[in-house]
Structure 1
Amino acid sequence: MSTLEEHVDVGVPIDKVWDLLHQVESYPRFVEGVRGARSEAGGRAHLDVEAGGRSREFAAEVSDRKGERMMEWRTTDPLDLAGSFSLQPIDENRTRVQARLEYEPGTIRDAFGGPRGFAQANAIERLVHSDLEHFKEYVEQKR
């Protein structure tokens, strides 16, 4: 299992970032490849994703540790992905968003194609970093 951690600092108070992070329907605005997203009952989410020229649908279970400002998620189908977003206040108007992704490199390659090994890790790292930058732009526009 590979693990990736990235973070971005946003100029928005933690409560606002927390609320926007939970608006799953807005994910196509800042997550590369997500074409559609919706919340479902029971802490579930459904995502329509296009990557590597392939379209896939994913269901995920989402849980909150609100007191810790952490949202955890795990796919519930054959693609084994898990991750979390945690928020830490920098001051009253700035928040650090920490993303953690756990994945099996071979499973990602089987699902979406693309490079192997180090090249794949670099591609995933760039994608997560880019998504966090897009999230920063999104939440700062929503202030």
Structure 2
Amino acid sequence: MPTIDQTIEVAVPISTAYDQWTQFEEFPHFMGGVEEVRQVTDTLTHWRTSIGGVEREFDAQIIDQHPDQRVAWRSVDGPAHEGVVTFEAVDAGTTRVHVETRWEPDSLVEKAGAAVGADDLQVKADLKRFKEFVENRGTETGAWRGDV
């Protein structure tokens, strides 16, 4: 399973970065290829994606979530994938966001993309757009502070 490992610093307090990340339905605003995310329950999300011409719908389960620290998930159906996003305060107004995800490419296009690192570049670009999204707003669009 390929592993993607990316980190970025965002110029917002840790609670703002974390709270925005918990707003899964906002992901299409900064994640390339994500068409829709629906929060089904506190711990279940339904995704619709279109990446490199490959369209998918799948569910993902939040398996570990602690405010201002981490959000971890794993797929319930579809190609196997899992990951964790961690949040670390660099100072009062800056947060380090670290994404580590593992996934099993299914199609030939996905396997070729993983082989040349396209998936890693996609996550890097998504994090840059997340940074722009949350910094330009200056505040989160909502929050879920539950503990899983």
TM-score by length of 2: 0.85
The residue number in structure 2 matching 1:48 is: 48
1:9-59 deviations in Å (ceiling 9; x for gaps): 000000011110000110000111001111111400011100121211010
**What amino acid does structure 2 have at the position aligned with 1:84?**
V
The residue number in structure 2 matching 1:102 is: 102
CA contact (8 A) 1:83 1:101 kept: yes
The residue number in structure 2 matching 1:36 is: 36
1:53-94 deviations in Å (ceiling 9; x for gaps): 121101000134316611001111131000010000000000
Matched, 1:115 2:112: yes
The residue number in structure 2 matching 1:23 is: 23
CA contact (8 A) 1:109 1:116 kept: no
The residue number in structure 1 matching 2:89 is: 89
Q: How far 1:116 moved relative to its partner? A: 5.9
Q: How far 1:125 moved relative to its partner? A: 1.0
**What amino acid does structure 2 have at the position aligned with 1:15?**
S
Structure with a larger share of its residues in helix: 1
Separation in structure 2 between the aligned mates of residue 117 and residue 23 of structure 1, nearest angstrom: 27
Instruction: Find the residue that maps to 1:115 and give its secondary structure.
Output: helix
Separation in structure 2 between the aligned mates of residue 46 and residue 2 of structure 1, nearest angstrom: 22
Instruction: Find the residue that maps to 1:55 and give its secondary structure.
Output: strand
Label 1:82 to 1:8 Cα distance change in 2 as closer, same or farther (>3 A): same
The residue number in structure 2 matching 1:58 is: 58
TM-score by length of 1: 0.88
Query: C-alpha root-mean-square deviation of aligned residues, in Å?
Result: 1.8
Gaps of 5+ in 2: 139-148
Gaps of 5+ in 1: none
Residue in structure 2 matching 1:137, options 114, 132, 137: 132
**What amino acid does structure 1 have at the position aligned with 2:129?**
H
Instruction: Find the residue that maps to 2:78 and give its secondary structure.
Output: coil
Label 1:24 to 1:86 Cα distance change in 2 as closer, same or farther (>3 A): same
Residue in structure 2 matching 1:125, options 102, 109, 120: 120
Q: Relative CO higher for 1 or 2, CA cutoff 8 Å, sep ≥ 6?
A: 2
Separation in structure 2 between the aligned mates of residue 3 and residue 91 of structure 1, nearest angstrom: 28
